[in-house]
């Protein structure tokens, strides 16, 4: 037992050791397991801590970057705000120059450039106009800081859905910034600067000031900037008295001014205005009853007269401002101007109607009408300016036909040929050229007057050869023809190209008794405050031909209208003129004058193709007569000076003999051209009493002669009459 017990004890003792070892192993394993579990738990906590730190860092960086961006944007806006002009300067700023063209009576013909109307303060602008603009263009105008994030997001949303920028996110303030300071470039750079300027405007000015600027600056179409200009243009009254319906029409124009313009498409303008009224009602700006009572159809639109009738004239006259205005004036100045012209609205309307009523089908036409001093009273450069703005009155070069004979006969008259001189209408050949008359017949011996009246080509050719073709060309140059002139024999029949306005100028010089006339269209240029920049000087024409030459050609021109090819141009008072027709009826002309007004008409095709039945004595002469009947209204009828007072060198010997004695011809100028005072026929010339000029003493006295001849005093035979003292000796 003991042995056993001892063994047991021994075993126990050994078991205790084993148990201790086991416990140590178990505790060791437990510690390792705990460490492993602890390690696993620490990793989860670390993971959660890292995510939180990342979020925290992101928030911090986002806040920091946002703060930096806010500081940067704020600084940029602040600098932009410092550069902005003050409110008064913003009111006076304009983006272009306006040129108002007036007729000779002061009526407005044409406005070139923008029209700004009268500036309306915020209080003067109707509430309906302010509400309509805010409702349609920027409903959150009163709440944003110049840019509208909601509007921007909406714009991007539409862009993502449709693939196109169909809806803008610009606020009223951004539109104002673009109108005053920027342009319409579709670039991110422009949009960014626009946003900065918009926020600067909001910083610098109140909402009411911004809206006032906008409504006085925004473009409403037709050249009208601001509500006052738009109201005057479309409704004929100032912007302070616009109704709700009118305000809806004007507000609807901002989206597309040219498309919704009442003058271009009244139906489109009304349809757009209905949309504006619906938007205003939806925004709470008006009630349903107010929207229903806004009768758009009852709005009276101003009828904009067609400006095309005067555009040919303004296209010719206005470019002359570069020459007429003082050189000291700043060429980049945007100072608004008023240009007073010579155009007569009544005559211009009559000219346009006459051309449209008489021009053959498919043909074009041109007309220029000058007053006696060269003032352009009417100008037609084509039948329709909209379809063709080419000015045929000033730019086109066409053959004048027989109208060119004006210069042939002027040269002939100056060379000594008189209207009553005989000429022979017969076939002729000059340097291989054989002209023919239009009818193919020949009249034989006639006078110069008849040859001109019936436009005999053969006579014109003979006269041109007689005075030389160079002399004819020189005469045309003298009367203002600047186009190239060929001196071939055919030139006497108008084979050289000319301009309508230059031919009219030549005929006007004849009407002015041979004195040069310079066409002009501008009488005065002044600023809107009345400061005169240019005043047309009084005309001082130069003598082109002697009075007897002007009288002679006027005689021929009057005969051509009375009995010749220009009979269709008669208007019930004296008219002098000439027809012109080119080969194959490609061109038809009539030029003439009456009561101080000179008018020229041309008709033909732009492609120079023949026009059936076109002759100078038909459609052009009829158009001339229709216009001139209106043009001379109110002017007295004037008879022409056709009395030829010929110079001494053209008088026949018998005429010189008849002018001897006390009524003898005495020169009025000396060799240097200085005037010579008239001599009293009863006065005794002191030179006659000079010693060297005393009459010689007779070789024998009278008694000796009587004795030699057998004559005694008191005889009844024939006695020789004694010469009265002072009677001039007349050579035979």
Question: For residue 231, how far is the Cα from the chain centroid?
Answer: 25
Separation between Cα atoms, residue 595 and residue 636, nearest integer Å = 7
* pLDDT for position 664: 39
585 neighbors 571 (Cβ within 8 angstroms)? no
460 neighbors 472 (Cβ within 8 angstroms)? no
Residue with tokens 């008006």: 286
344 neighbors 488 (Cβ within 8 angstroms)? no
Residue with tokens 């009268």: 118
Question: Which residue stretches of the chain have pLDDT < 70?
Answer: 1-48, 69-70, 72-83, 93-96, 151-169, 182-190, 303-307, 328-334, 644-732
* pLDDT for position 189: 67
Tokens of residue 660, six digits:
């001897």
φ, ψ (nearest 5 deg) of residue 58: -60, -40
The CB-side HSE value for 177 (13 A sphere, CA atoms) comes to 25
* pLDDT for position 114: 78
> DSSP letter string over 652-718?
-HHHHHHT-GGG----SB-TTS-B-----TTSPPGGGGSGGGSPPPPSS-HHHHHHHHT--TT--S-
97 neighbors 113 (Cβ within 8 angstroms)? yes
Please tell me what DSSP assigns to residue 442: -
Q: Is the pTM of this model over 0.75?
A: no
Helix pair angle (244-251, 266-282), 10° resolution: 100
What Å distances lie between residue 240 and 91, 126, 247, 277, 346, CA to CA? 18, 6, 11, 19, 33
Strands (E), 139-242: 219-221, 224-225
Nearest to 226 by CA among 237, 236, 213, 210: 213
Separation between Cα atoms, residue 504 and residue 651, nearest integer Å = 33
Separation between Cα atoms, residue 259 and residue 253, nearest integer Å = 8
- Which residues are CB-contacts of 240 (< 8 A; sequence separation ≥ 6)? 120, 124, 125, 126, 228
Nearest to 178 by CA among 166, 188, 193: 193
Handedness of CA 616, 622, 626, 628 (dihedral sign): positive
How many CB atoms lie under 10 A from the CB of residue 468? 13
All structural domains of the chain, each given as residue ranges with its CATH number in brackets, are 114-298 (1.10.3810.10), 353-631 (3.40.710.10)
* pLDDT for position 159: 57
What Å distances lie between residue 570 and 1, 551, 567, 573, 593, CA to CA? 176, 20, 6, 7, 11
* pLDDT for position 49: 77
Separation between Cα atoms, residue 288 and residue 204, nearest integer Å = 37
> Which residues are bridge partners to 424 per DSSP?
445
Per-residue pLDDT reduced to its tens digit, 111-143: 877 778 889 999 999 999 999 999 998 888 888
Nearest to 535 by CA among 547, 520, 545: 520
The CB-side HSE value for 647 (13 A sphere, CA atoms) comes to 14
Pairing of strands 337-341, 99-102: parallel
* pLDDT for position 50: 80
Tokens of residue 536, six digits:
């047309």
The CB-side HSE value for 622 (13 A sphere, CA atoms) comes to 12
455 neighbors 564 (Cβ within 8 angstroms)? yes
* pLDDT for position 671: 42
């Amino acid at each position: 037992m003991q042995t056993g017990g001892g063994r047991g004890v021994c075993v126990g003792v050994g078991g205790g050791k084993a148990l201790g070892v086991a416990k140590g192993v178990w505790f060791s394993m437990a510690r390792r397991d705990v460490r492993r579990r602890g390690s696993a738990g620490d990793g989860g906590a670390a993971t959660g801590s890292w995510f939180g730190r990342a979020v925290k860092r992101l928030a911090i960086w986002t806040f920091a970057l946002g703060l930096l961006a806010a500081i940067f944007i704020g600084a940029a806006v602040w600098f932009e705000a410092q550069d902005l002009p003050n409110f008064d300067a913003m009111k006076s700023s304009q983006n272009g120059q306006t040129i108002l063209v007036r007729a000779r009576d002061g009526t407005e013909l044409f406005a070139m450039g923008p029209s700004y109307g009268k500036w309306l303060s915020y209080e003067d602008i109707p509430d309906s106009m302010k509400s309509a603009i805010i409702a349609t263009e920027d409903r959150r105008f009163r709440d944003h800081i110049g840019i509208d994030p909601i509007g921007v997001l909406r714009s991007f949303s539409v862009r993502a859905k449709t693939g196109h920028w169909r809806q803008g996110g610009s606020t009223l303030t951004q539109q104002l910034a673009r109108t005053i300071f920027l342009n319409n470039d579709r670039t991110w750079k422009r949009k960014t600067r626009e946003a900065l300027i918009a926020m600067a405007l909001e910083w610098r000015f109140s909402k009411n000031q911004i809206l006032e600027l906008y409504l006085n600056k925004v473009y409403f179409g037709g050249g009208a900037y601001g509500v006052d200009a738009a109201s005057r243009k479309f409704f004929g009254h100032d912007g302070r008295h616009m109704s709700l319906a009118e305000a809806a029409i004007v507000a609807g124009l901002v989206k597309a001014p040219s498309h919704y313009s009442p003058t271009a498409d009244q139906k489109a303008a009304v349809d757009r205005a209905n949309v504006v009224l619906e938007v205003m009602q939806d925004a709470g700006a008006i009630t349903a009853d107010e929207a229903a009572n806004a009768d758009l159809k009852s709005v009276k639109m101003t009828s904009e007269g067609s400006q095309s009738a005067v555009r040919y004239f303004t296209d010719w006259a206005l470019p002359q401002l570069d020459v007429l205005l003082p050189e000291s004036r700043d060429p980049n100045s945007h100072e608004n101007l008023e240009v007073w012209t010579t155009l007569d609205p009544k005559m211009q309307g009559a000219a346009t109607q006459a051309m449209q009523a008489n021009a053959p089908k498919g043909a074009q036409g041109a007309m220029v009408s000058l007053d006696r001093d060269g003032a352009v009273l009417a100008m037609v450069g084509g039948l329709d300016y909209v379809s063709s703005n080419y000015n045929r009155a000033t730019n086109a070069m066409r053959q004048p036909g027989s109208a060119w004979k004006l210069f042939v006969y002027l040269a002939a008259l100056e060379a000594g040929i008189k209207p009553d001189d005989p000429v022979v209408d017969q076939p002729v050949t000059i340097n291989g050229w054989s002209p023919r008359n239009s009818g193919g017949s020949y009249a034989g011996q006639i006078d110069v007057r008849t040859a001109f009246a019936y436009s005999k080509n053969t006579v014109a050719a003979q006269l041109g050869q007689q005075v030389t073709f160079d002399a004819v060309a020189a005469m045309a140059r003298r009367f203002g023809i600047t186009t190239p002139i060929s001196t071939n024999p055919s030139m006497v029949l108008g084979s050289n190209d000319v301009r309508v306005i230059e031919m009219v100028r030549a005929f006007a010089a004849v009407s002015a008794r041979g004195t040069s006339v310079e066409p002009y269209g501008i009488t005065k240029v002044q600023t809107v405050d009345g400061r005169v920049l240019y005043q047309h000087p009084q005309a001082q024409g130069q003598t082109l031909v002697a009075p007897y030459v002007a009288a002679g050609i006027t005689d021929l021109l009057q005969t051509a209208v009375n009995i010749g090819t220009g009979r269709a141009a008669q208007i019930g008072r004296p008219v002098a003129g000439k027809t012109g027709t080119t080969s194959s009826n490609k061109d038809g002309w009539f030029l003439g004058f009456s009561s101080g007004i000179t008018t020229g008409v041309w008709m033909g095709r732009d492609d120079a193709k023949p026009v059936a039945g076109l002759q100078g004595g038909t459609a052009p002469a009829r158009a001339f007569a229709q216009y001139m009947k209106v043009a001379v209204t109110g002017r007295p009828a004037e008879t022409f000076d056709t009395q030829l007072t010929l110079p001494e060198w053209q008088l026949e010997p018998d005429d010189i003999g008849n002018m001897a004695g006390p009524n003898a011809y005495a020169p009025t100028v000396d060799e240097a051209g200085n005037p010579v005072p008239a001599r009293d026929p009863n006065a005794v010339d002191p030179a006659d009493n000079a010693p060297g000029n005393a009459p010689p003493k007779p070789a024998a006295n009278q008694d000796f002669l009587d004795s030699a001849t057998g004559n005694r005093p008191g005889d009844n035979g024939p006695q020789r009459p004694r010469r009265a003292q002072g009677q001039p000796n007349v050579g035979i």
